Amino acid sequence: MDVRQGLLKGIDCGSGATGAVGGGMTGGSNGSMTGGGGMCFHPDTPVCLADGSTVRVGDVRIGDRLADGSSVQMTLEFLTDDLYQVGNVWVSGSHAVYEQGEWKRVRDAAGATRLAVSRQRVINLVTDTHRIQAGGKLFADYLEVGGAFRQSIWTNMVAKYGGVNHAMKAKASVA
């Protein structure tokens, strides 16, 4: 199956989920890194920018402004076997999506279909609002996990890459 087939077709950057939903979150840094696991999007998933253009998540760079006005603070790259299709968005099952007035995991979302993939490269963004709009749906960014768990992820990445500066520069694609 070609996971890129048709993902960018028929995208309307003038419609979809809008506004801030749920509680505030803290965090966000500049830099890119790689790791394992992930609450992420297939690199060809379409996302709308503030200028009205549509780009692939894999082409979004630090500093880009998304359609909701949020600024991309960090990009992350992972491998996963847990990928689902929700509408025209291909996203890991553990990712949080706002649906019918509540946050839920993609794997539990209405109409989510698991895709047969193995070690698929996926991308996640960290934004200053901690929200990402894609395919007319609202998703939380990588830092949505919150609290001590989020801190342990960062601590592990710092340890893996040998310090904060190295962790933030790992696989850097600085804008």
Q: Does residue 119 fall inside a structural domain? A: yes
Strands (E), 35-130: 46-48, 54-56, 72-80, 83-86, 89-92, 96-99, 102-105, 113-115, 120-127
Residue 159 burial class via C-beta count within 10 angstroms: exposed 0-12, middle 13-18, buried 19 and up: exposed
Digitized pLDDT (tens) for each residue of the chain, 175 residues in all = 343 334 444 444 544 433 333 332 222 333 333 333 456 899 999 899 999 999 999 999 999 999 999 999 988 888 888 899 998 899 989 888 998 888 889 999 999 999 998 888 889 888 988 889 888 889 988 777 544 445 555 555 555 655 544 444 443 333 3
Task: Say what the pLDDT of residue 115 is.
Answer: 92
Strands 89-92 and 54-56: unpaired
Structural domain tally of the chain? 1
Name the pTM for this structure. 0.65
The Cβ of residue 64 has, within 10 Å, a number of other Cβ atoms equal to: 19
Contacts of 169 (CB under 8 A, 6+ apart): 31, 32, 161
Q: 89 is in which domain, residue-wise?
A: 31-166
3-class SS of residue 52: coil
CATH of the domain at 92: 2.170.16.10
Q: Is residue 25 part of a domain?
A: no
**What's the pLDDT score for residue 143?**
75
Using DSSP, state whether 157 is helix, strand or coil. Answer: helix
Residue 162 falls inside a structural domain: yes
Q: Running DSSP on this structure, what letter comes out for residue 18? A: -
56 domain residue, yes or no? yes
